[in-house]
Amino acid sequence: MSLLRAQKRKEVFSPNKTAPAAKKKLDTGPEMQDTLNTLVDAISKLSDKVDTLGSQMQQNSAMLASIAKSVEFNVAEIKGCKVQLQVTLHEVSALKEDKKQMMERLLELERYKRRWNLRLKGVKEKEGENTRDLVADLLLKIIPEWSLNINGIIDTVHRLGHREENRTTLIIIQFAQRVYRDLLWRKTKESAICKELGIRFTEDLCPADRETRAALWPKIQQARAAGKKAYYRGGDGFIDGQKNHQLIWTRYAVMCCCLSNTSGHMVYFMII
């Protein structure tokens, strides 16, 4: 044992073996200090950025939660709007049907009111004329038997439009009773006096019926040329007793209804 210890002592202090290198001291000069300071600043800035990023992430999370709530609210509102839309569509459909029925009733009302009227064409207008007296004289020439009650037979008389030179305006005659109107209407169809004076009585049709007749006229004309019995009755055309009805709708589905105001004049309304 003592021999091994002696041998180790010899090896430690052997002149042939290199002595261990001494440890170098850490360089703490100015350059190293600047580098350390720069590194610390960089770490501090990075830490600040991480903190800022974390704060932004928290804000974004809160914002996303708010957006999610808004989306849920909007989805609920859209569902409610869809339900309301269905209800509105149903109501609009019902209103369209009511409107259609109302327009048909107004049109029939206008037709009914005009059945007391006749239109007189071919009478030139004179300055300062009394249209009622002028018409009364014409009617007495056609039906002299009315001389005792002509003022009770004629209700109202007026011309349509403004007076213009070399222009004949229509005269609307409204009778007190339909029987007088119908009698005159039959008398004037073959009246020699009307042919002599160049005047003509026609039905006072509403605009819708006039358009309907104009549309049916080619069929009526073709039927007459073929020897068939073709005629009008109101807004309808008949060929050999069969009705050919064609209701005319304008571009905007307009019907004109005619009502009387308190002054007795004819007032036209456009119902769209």
50-62 pLDDT, tens digit per residue, is: 878 888 888 888 8
pLDDT number for residue 101: 92
- Tell me: pLDDT of 25 over 60: no
Question: For domain 115-204, is the CATH number 3.40.50.261?
Answer: no
pLDDT number for residue 28: 59
Provide mean pLDDT across the span 203-215. Answer: 86
Provide mean pLDDT across the span 180-209. Answer: 90
Each as own residue / partner, the long-range contacts of residues 154-157 (CB below 8 Å, 24 or more positions apart, any chain) are 155/116, 156/264, 157/131, 157/132
Distances (CA, A) of 223 to 122, 150, 197, 247: 29, 40, 31, 20
pLDDT number for residue 261: 38
- Tell me: pLDDT of 247 over 70: no
Highest-scoring range by mean pLDDT, 112-116, 214-218, 263-267: 112-116
**Side chain identity at residue 257, one-letter code:** C
pLDDT number for residue 186: 92
Provide mean pLDDT across the span 146-161. Answer: 92
Residue 161 carries which DSSP code?
S
- Environment class of 170 (CB within 10 Å of its CB; exposed 0-12, middle 13-18, buried 19+): middle
pLDDT number for residue 260: 39
Read off φ and ψ for residue 158, nearest 5 degrees. Answer: -160, 155
SS3 of residue 270 by DSSP: strand
pLDDT bucket at 94, cuts 50 / 70 / 90 = very high
The residue length of the chain stands at 272
* Angle ∠(174,176,180) on CA atoms, nearest 5: 85
pLDDT number for residue 149: 92
Please report the beta strands in 100-189, taking only residues with DSSP state E, as ranges in sequence order. Answer: 117-121, 154-159, 171-175
156, 174 in Cβ contact below 8 A?
yes
Whole-number average pLDDT of the chain: 79
How crowded is residue 114: how many other Cβ atoms within 10 Å of its Cβ? 20
pLDDT number for residue 3: 53
pLDDT number for residue 213: 82
- Environment class of 228 (CB within 10 Å of its CB; exposed 0-12, middle 13-18, buried 19+): middle
pLDDT number for residue 262: 36
Q: What is the pTM of this model?
A: 0.57
- Tell me: pLDDT of 7 over 60: no
- Tell me: pLDDT of 266 over 60: no
Q: Which residue has the higher pLDDT, 32 or 122?
A: 122
Highest-scoring range by mean pLDDT, 33-42, 172-181, 254-263: 172-181
Label residue 166 left, alpha or beta by phi (over 0 means left) and psi (-120 to 50 means alpha).
left
pLDDT bucket at 5, cuts 50 / 70 / 90 = low
156, 135 in Cβ contact below 8 A?
no
pLDDT number for residue 211: 86
Highest-scoring range by mean pLDDT, 128-132, 138-142, 241-245, 254-258: 138-142
